[in-house]
Amino acid sequence: MKKTLAILLVLSIIVFLGYGCDTGSSSSTSSSSTSSTSSSGGCDTGSSSSSSTSSTSSTSSTSSTSSTSSTSSTSSSSGSVSDGDIVLSPGGNLQNAINTIAAGKTIWLNGGTYNMSATITIAESNSGTSSARKSIKAMGNGMPVLDWNSTSDNSSGRGIILDGSYWHIYGITIREAGDNGMLLSGDNNIIERCVFTANRDTGLQLSRYNGNYNSISQWPSNNLILQCESFDNMDSNGENADGFAAKLTCGEGNVFRGCYSHNNVDDGWDLWTNSGTPIGKVTIEYCISYMNGTLTNGTVMTNGDRNGFKLGGADVSVNHTVRYCIAANNGACGFTWNSNPGSIKVTNNTAYGNKKSNFYFAGGSSTFLNNISLSGSSDDKIAGSSLNANYNAWWTSGKAVSGNGVTVTSADFQSLSKGTLTWVSNTSVNLGTLLIPVSGSDLIGTGSGGVNMGAR
């Protein structure tokens, strides 16, 4: 029942009840916002985007109660306090700590709610090094929540702008910012085990901050987003707030690994590209996109695109990679090319119960291997190369059968329902027995190279 590619204690992903279709992106990369939308048939739709202009750094106005520790006596699941570190409790001045922390040192946040009143900015000049990162981490088992308490959209109201490089942010919840929870515009950063929720635009977005940066080499590159969760993000128009996005102006080498995006008003992942400005290749692996288009309280706003993984836009070729991912019960397509004519590598993914097509690739030269599609509301649409038709089971005419005769049914899986979210390794999300093949299933070992078909 395991994939010979050990491939993770892998994503046990999320339950399904699906939707599906290709759409453009709604994005915000700066303080001023210009909306332009267009739509077409199939699953493709236009993008609502905001142009990028740099804004001045604003500091948090919470009162300062920070203290520096000169001992290593306090331990944490993510390290120990050492000389030169800074420890904050709710009410502490996080912006001041960020401005003064030295390379190789950590800002520790005790558990509790930090009531924020301004954007936290980590300037481009405020960076660590490859051997001495600057860090912001939760202390011990505490749950620090940075809460901006925004009840309306505010294009200049992002939670955190991370424009510096070589930072590691671990175990923080970012909620109710007036725009993005985090704009990640620097390079070589690690965002790990963070939660982005109830923000008024995309939870975490990779795009430029400096509006004068017009070259892909100046855009955010080589960032790792690891085991993060993003949910219930919603803008007032119900069409811009994705779980995660790398769009408009992001560079090469960005990776999402083991992340969980669910119940956002727009897409789970959005990789929209504007005409004339292709973004860098993005890798999404071991991730789950579930029930996007419907908030956890049941709210549905039909203006959003509501795809699981939206992989392009504006007929611009970018060769992304999506592997070992699950898309379930999203309000439109599970996985969609969204008018990206490039060669997207789509390998060992599972889509279930999405409201349109589970897989919608109406054009382009993408490659497909070991993918499973079950119970889509519409037939899959596949253009490109299947590498070997024997090793993909597409949903067509009410059934899923691979070229070598492997039939996929609900009986092949231990469960089609999610369990309780846990993090089980450096790469994977566990939601119970969801989509794990049962003993004796013909999905086991019948993929190319003898691995299992699908994400698990």
The C-alpha atoms of residue 90 and residue 109 are separated, in whole angstroms, by 8
pTM for the predicted model, two decimal places: 0.85
10 Å Cβ neighbour count for 93? 19
* 3-class DSSP assignment, residue 238: coil
Residue among 214, 125, 107, 108 nearest 166 (CA): 125
Tens of pLDDT along the chain (456 residues) come to 333 333 333 333 333 333 334 444 444 333 333 333 333 335 665 554 443 434 333 333 333 334 443 333 354 556 678 899 999 999 999 999 999 999 999 999 999 999 999 999 999 999 999 999 999 999 999 999 999 998 889 888 999 999 999 999 999 999 999 999 999 999 999 999 999 999 999 999 999 999 999 999 999 999 999 999 999 999 999 999 999 999 999 999 999 999 999 999 999 999 999 988 899 999 999 999 999 999 999 999 888 899 999 999 999 999 999 999 999 999 999 999 999 999 999 999 999 999 999 999 999 999 999 999 999 999 999 998 888 888 999 999 999 999 888 899 999 989 887 666 665 555 566 667 778 889 999 899 989 989 989 998
Token digits for 327?
Answer: 């898309």
310 is catalytic: yes
- Residue with token string 């510096």: 164
275, 316 contact by CB (below 8 A)? yes
Distance of CA 16 to the CA centre of its chain: 18
259, 225 contact by CB (below 8 A)? yes
Residue tagged active-site, from 3, 134, 247, 310 = 310
The C-alpha atoms of residue 98 and residue 126 are separated, in whole angstroms, by 8
The C-alpha atoms of residue 288 and residue 353 are separated, in whole angstroms, by 14
10 Å Cβ neighbour count for 123? 15
Tell me the CA distances in angstroms from 121 to 99, 186, 209, one per residue in order. Answer: 9, 11, 11
Tell me the CA distances in angstroms from 345 to 244, 339, 340, 374, 381, one per residue in order. Answer: 19, 15, 12, 20, 16
Q: Residue 217 has what DSSP assignment? A: G
